[in-house]
Amino acid sequence: MNSKADLILCNANVLTLNRRRPRAESVAVKRDKIVWVGRNADIELFTGKRIDCGGKTVVPGFNDAHIHIMAYASNLLSIDCRPASVVSITDIQEKIGRAVQHAPRGKWIKGAGYNEFYLAEHRHPNRHDLDRVAPNHPVKLTHRSLHACVLNSLGLVLAGISVETPDPPGGLIDRELGTGEPSGLLFGMNSYLNEKVIPPLSEKELRRGVKLANRSLLSSGITSVQDATVRNSFEQWETFRKFKKSGELVPRISMMFGLHALDDLKGRGLNYGYGDNGLRLGAVKFTLDETRGRLNPCQEELNEGVLRAHQAGFQVAIHAVEEMTVRAAAIALENCLRRSRKADRRHRVEHCSVCPPPLLRRLKAIKALVVTQPAFIYYSGERYLSDVPEAQLPWLYRTGSFLKSGLKPTASSDCPVVPCNPLVGIYAAVTRRAESGQVLSPKEASSAEEALWMYTFAGAYASFEERLKGSIEVGKLADMVLLSADPTGVAPERIKDIQVEKTILGGKVVWER
């Protein structure tokens, strides 16, 4: 007897990521769920719209477990200053000079993505560089890391930053030698500037940015994202809801948020996991950094916050890059589990960039999840090799060791820090190669299967949604990607060039090449 399906993928090389049945040839979908996975010979049991995949590879939709959607949307509207588009401060000046000509006097000019390491001058731009081309417009140039930015003189005036301004908590105002005047370069002050100084995007601008971000995500095969923005609160939840409703932001979103918003969200009945398959409330995000050897926030404050979020029933996600901050994150999680052992909350350490063996063992003991960014190796590998102390290099982005130790690492892009293309991330996890071709601790390489798992199943696991998505199995959401080649079959060197041909979300083709 024939059964009716809404979509049938046949003649495919299906990598299901389901350990019980790793490979298949065809998939049938009814409404938004997968109802059948099997061989070509048996797909005749189904009638319905058919896509002949021509032997190409189908994988579960990619899940980018750490991304900043609104920053990405805003970046896409900014002047592109990434290493791929500028090679020098002179290039940046030229681009800003051109934008100034079209902008009304006084309007903020924004550039994004610069990385001083790749600039010919090998330094950060300063206010003088920017003043030269923009004397009458405030300028903000955001660093690739999102943790630093440069303002021109008018920008500094509007931000109220002068020679007398002390460094704010967690921030650092770079100063000129001799005079002590701000150089324009600011560390750890991005959120403050975005919230308090720079006018928000207009409704129209925001919509345009979100549309561009949506397109970029879908064309990269990303069907789920986890927004790790610490500034998120109920207001952002409502903004996401609006864009979900209008269909302008298609990928499924899990929204993390900062501790400041916990009481408000709980008060409104939004608990962990609240929402639906399109938009769900995720972890409480903590940012933890070290400025001049000091933790910000301090250990006690972090311990307290983490415990509070845990006791409120939430997963926590702690941003920790340096060894000192990863250790502080481990201490906070140990403390929290000692005080309140409740259910396994899959607490996350975001980045975990430097992780020597004793720290790795501690994270394992508390069953922490590590959310790593393999593509950083591709986009910044050269810089790591030249700037990171030799003794620390083996402990950098240890994807292989995270996998071997059973830490269940999850992959992500941290976009807009680097582009969101998961295939570049898979390539970097497998080859450990920087864009320049240099290799970073090859011992930490993982297999293409493992890397694919980190971008799909592990992502779902990291937001407690592995029963819903992350593999191609009967009963799961029909989120799948058709690729031009098999990442587990081609030569590793070719993985980064694999194209996404179709992106299917909830059984609908939402993007095709």
Compose the 308-327 pattern: x for residues touching Zn ion by CB under 5 A, - for all others.
--------------------
Cβ-contact 489, 476 below 8 angstroms: no
DSSP bridge partners of 351: 320
Between 353 and 441, whose beta carbon lies closer to Zn ion? 353
Between 192 and 438, whose beta carbon lies closer to Zn ion? 192
Q: How are strands ordered across the β-sheet holding 348-351?
A: 62-67, 222-227, 252-258, 279-287, 316-320, 348-351, 369-372, 410-411
Q: Which stretch binds Zn ion (CB under 5 A): 57-65, 328-336, 411-419, 440-448?
A: 411-419
Nearest approach in angstroms of CB 349 to Zn ion is 12
The DSSP line for 223-286 is EEEEE--TT--HHHHHHHHHHHHTTS--SEEEEEEEGGGHHHHHHTT--TT-B-SSEEEEEEEE
Nearest approach in angstroms of CB 255 to Zn ion is 13
| Residue at shortest CB range from Zn ion | 414
Nearest by Cα to 59 from 398, 498, 475 = 498
Return left, alpha or beta for 395; rule: phi > 0 is left, psi -120 to 50 is alpha, else beta.
alpha
* Helical (H) or strand (E) element with 4: strand 3-4
Compose the 179-198 pattern: x for residues touching Zn ion by CB under 5 A, - for all others.
--------------------
Compose the 356-395 pattern: x for residues touching Zn ion by CB under 5 A, - for all others.
----------------------------------------
Compose the 67-106 pattern: x for residues touching Zn ion by CB under 5 A, - for all others.
----------------------------------------
Between 414 and 486, whose beta carbon lies closer to Zn ion? 414
Between 70 and 89, whose beta carbon lies closer to Zn ion? 70
Q: Which stretch binds Zn ion (CB under 5 A): 151-159, 176-184, 259-267, 410-418?
A: 410-418
Residue given tokens 């993985």 in the structure block: 495
Residues 6+ apart with CB under 8 A from 126: 150, 183, 184, 185
Nearest approach in angstroms of CB 412 to Zn ion is 8
Cα atoms in the Cβ-side hemisphere of radius 13 Å centred on 455 = 35
Nearest approach in angstroms of CB 257 to Zn ion is 13
Cβ-contact 453, 409 below 8 angstroms: no
Binding residues for Zn ion restricted to 103-162, rule: CB under 5 A:
none
- The single-letter DSSP state of residue 494 is G
Which tokens is 222 given? 């990303």
**Is 414 a binder of Zn ion (CB under 5 A)?**
yes
Nearest approach in angstroms of CB 239 to Zn ion is 18
The alpha carbon of 119 is separated from its chain's Cα centroid by a whole number of angstroms, namely 24
Between 79 and 418, whose beta carbon lies closer to Zn ion? 418
Between 414 and 501, whose beta carbon lies closer to Zn ion? 414
Q: What is the maximum alpha-carbon separation in the chain?
A: 85
Nearest approach in angstroms of CB 193 to Zn ion is 17
Nearest approach in angstroms of CB 1 to Zn ion is 51
Nearest approach in angstroms of CB 245 to Zn ion is 26
Cβ-contact 228, 285 below 8 angstroms: yes
Q: How many residues at the interface with Zn ion, by CB under 5 A?
A: 2
Give the C-alpha distances (Å, rounded to integers) separating 89 from 85, 102, 131, 151, 356: 12, 21, 13, 14, 36
Q: Which stretch binds Zn ion (CB under 5 A): 25-33, 125-133, 195-203, 409-417?
A: 409-417
Which tokens is 33 given? 């769920």
Between 96 and 316, whose beta carbon lies closer to Zn ion? 316
Between 14 and 228, whose beta carbon lies closer to Zn ion? 228
Nearest approach in angstroms of CB 321 to Zn ion is 10
Q: Which stretch binds Zn ion (CB under 5 A): 253-261, 276-284, 393-401, 413-421?
A: 413-421
- The single-letter DSSP state of residue 10 is E
Compose the 226-265 pattern: x for residues touching Zn ion by CB under 5 A, - for all others.
--x-------------------------------------
**Is 289 a binder of Zn ion (CB under 5 A)?**
no
Nearest approach in angstroms of CB 383 to Zn ion is 18
Which tokens is 88 given? 């020098």
Nearest approach in angstroms of CB 343 to Zn ion is 26
Nearest by Cα to 7 from 52, 41, 39 = 52
**Is 450 a binder of Zn ion (CB under 5 A)?**
no
Q: From CA 104, how far away is CA 343, in angstroms rounded?
A: 56
Compose the 214-233 pattern: x for residues touching Zn ion by CB under 5 A, - for all others.
--------------x-----
Between 64 and 414, whose beta carbon lies closer to Zn ion? 414
Between 37 and 411, whose beta carbon lies closer to Zn ion? 411
The DSSP line for 282-345 is EEEEEE-EEETTEEES-HHHHHHHHHHHHHTT--EEEEE-SHHHHHHHHHHHHHHHHH---S--
Q: From CA 70, how far away is CA 343, in angstroms rounded?
A: 32
Nearest approach in angstroms of CB 300 to Zn ion is 24
Between 88 and 233, whose beta carbon lies closer to Zn ion? 233
Residue ranges that bind Zn ion, judged by CB under 5 A: 228, 414
